[in-house]
Amino acid sequence: MKVLVVNCGSSSIKYQLYQMPEKRVISRGLVERIGEESGAIQHHYADEVRRLEGQIADHEEGMALILETLSGGEGVLASAEEIEAIGHRVVHGGEEFTGSVLITPRVIASIERFSDLAPLHNPPNLTGIRAAMHELPDVPQVACFDTAFHATIPQVAYTYALPYPLYEKFGIRRYGFHGTSHRYVARRAAQMLGLGKYKIDCITVHLGNGCSMTAVQRGRSIDTSMGLTPLEGLVMGTRTGDFDPAILFYLADRGYAVSSLNELCNKQSGLLGISGRSNDMRLLLELSREGNRRAALAIDVFCYRIKKYIGMYAAVLGRLDAVVFTGGIGENAVPVRAAACSGLDCLGIAIDQALNEQMVGRREGAISSPQSGTAVLVVPTDEEAAIADDTYQIVRQRSCPIP
């Protein structure tokens, strides 16, 4: 079965075409600058890259361009009809979706309803779903929610200490994000340790531009660092993570408008805000090696927060098989992994510097020292493969029900 995985942003569509169940990537690409004066598609297949520039009016046009590129003259498909299923990344599934689902009008209405909670993400995700439905109306489509893996978080962990009616009226609670990645690396870690997927107790640490951590008990999320929105928790590229909310009142009293505070917390803070230079960990590590103090401070604050969360989640879990690093920083930044795990012998966590240095560039393996009671693993994430897998399973069951 050929499955197309789509991740639709406000002005971009990322796509990957898979041969399932082998999870072989046939081709992948990115349509960008949709709705701007000059857009582009970058299409990768075999070892080739093709780039086309031109205006792309809207997502429907972008989706049509993807299908044309996949099936046109030099395309990898004889016809777009070879695509048997489409899997969409959807950020917010509220409390309703505990797993991936076949998209129906009811599902679309719910995604629309949850746009309130994810105004920057759900609307473009929906636009992508509608564009795909327009282009391939007979192909089943599946929604995979970033929040779904966290549906198992207990009330004690998702309830904020705000007046309870705010939860009842507005759904204000912890939802968590990056769920597809946390689930993927927790399952992979279980395989690596020879444990069943519902046997592993671990802490998953996703460090990309957005960063989050999850406490996974017997394969299920029981707490996670992001909250109602992706702002809470770890220090991120440009987001604050946890901080005293009274800072906002203090700044509001000094003339900061709500919109500028939103921008400040989400776009101007984190690694960028502290360093004053960049949100890119590679550059910050370089600057820090050259003696730039603010870059060094940004990295220190970033690592300290991760370490604090490891301690918190170790307490929440009570036992621990593994700490699992993933995401661009988690998979590559050797000094970050070393600092985040330093001084954690008290929790049975110790890493081996030589192994740590080897585990870069999408290599998968253990970096813990032989004395470490807890495995420390690096697992490259693959959210697209997880979406392709969910889509394949759902569509296959639908077309040949299990007797």
Query: Which is closer to ligand ADP, CB of 59 or CB of 239?
Result: 239
* 27 or 332: CB nearest ligand ADP: 332
For position 280 contacting ligand ADP by CB under 6 A, the verdict is: yes
Report residue 236: phi and psi, to 5°: -125, -175
Residue showing tokens 């550059």? 283
Q: Which is nearer to ligand ADP, 128 or 237 (CB)?
A: 237
Select the residue whose beta carbon is closest to ligand ADP and give its number. 328
- Cβ atoms of 100 and 390 within 8 Å: the answer is yes
Which region among 117-125, 127-135, 274-282, 384-392 touches ligand ADP (by CB under 6 A)? 274-282
Q: Closer CB to ligand ADP, residue 314 or residue 333?
A: 333
CB 281 within 8 A of CB 337: no
- Sign of the four-CA dihedral 240, 127, 105, 116: positive
Q: Is 332 in the site for ligand ADP (CB under 6 A)?
A: yes
In one-letter notation, the amino acid at residue 102 is L
- Give the CA distances from residue 171 to residues 113, 158, 227, in Å, rounded to whole numbers and listed in that order: 12, 11, 12
Nearest-approach distance from CB 278 to ligand ADP, in angstroms: 8
Tell me: does residue 329 bind ligand ADP (CB under 6 A).
yes
Binding region for ligand ADP (CB under 6 A) out of 182-190, 252-260, 294-302, 329-337: 329-337
CB of 185 to ligand ADP, least distance (A): 12
8 A C-beta contact, residue 251 and residue 262: no
Q: Enumerate residues 204-263 that contact ligand ADP by CB under 6 A.
A: 208-210, 237
Cβ at position 51, least distance to ligand ADP in Å: 20
For ligand ADP, give the closer residue by CB, 328 or 348: 328
Cβ closer to ligand ADP: 176 or 327?
A: 327
| CA gap 282, 59 in Å, rounded | 33
- Does 42 help bind ligand ADP (rule: CB under 6 A)? no
| Gap between the terminal Cα atoms of the chain | 21
The 3-class SS string of 17-50 reads: EEECCCCEEEEEEEEECCCCCCEEEEEEECCEEE
Q: Give me the torsion for CA of 361, 366, 370, 374, rounded to 10°.
A: 130
Task: Pick the piece of the chain touching ligand ADP (CB under 6 A) from 81-89, 116-124, 281-289, 342-350.
Answer: 281-289
**Could you say whether residue 328 binds ligand ADP (CB under 6 A)?**
yes
Among the candidate windows 37-45, 277-285, 337-345, 372-380, which touches ligand ADP by CB under 6 A? 277-285
Given the residues 47, 116, 146, 223, the one annotated as active site: 146
Q: What residues contact residue 2 under an 8 Å CB cut-off, 6+ apart?
A: 17, 18, 19, 20, 26, 77, 82, 83, 84, 85
CB of 206 to ligand ADP, least distance (A): 8
Known catalytic membership, residue 146: yes
User: Binding to ligand ADP by residue 179, rule CB under 6 A?
Assistant: no
Minimum distance from residue 331 beta carbon to ligand ADP (Å): 7
In contact, 329 and 311? CB cutoff 8 Å: no
Instruction: Choose, by CB under 6 A, the member of 24, 51, 199, 282 that binds ligand ADP.
Output: 282
CB nearer to ligand ADP: give 93 or 327: 327
What lies within 8 Å, CB to CB, of 157 at 6+ separation is 174, 222, 223, 316
The minimum distance between CB 250 and ligand ADP, in angstroms, equals 29
H or E stretch including 84?
strand 83-90
CB of 147 to ligand ADP, least distance (A): 17
According to DSSP, the residues that pair with 135 across neighbouring strands are: none
**Near ligand ADP by CB under 6 A: residue from 333, 366, 377, 386:** 333
Using CA atoms, how far residue 104 sits from 111, 130, 140, 297, 385, in Å, is 11, 11, 9, 49, 23
Window of 62-70, 109-117, 149-157, 323-331 that interacts with ligand ADP by CB under 6 A: 323-331
Q: Which of 2, 293, 333, 326 is nearest to 188 (CA)?
A: 326
Q: Which residues bind ligand ADP (CB under 6 A)?
A: 208-210, 237, 280-282, 285, 327-329, 332-333
So which residues are the catalytic ones? 146
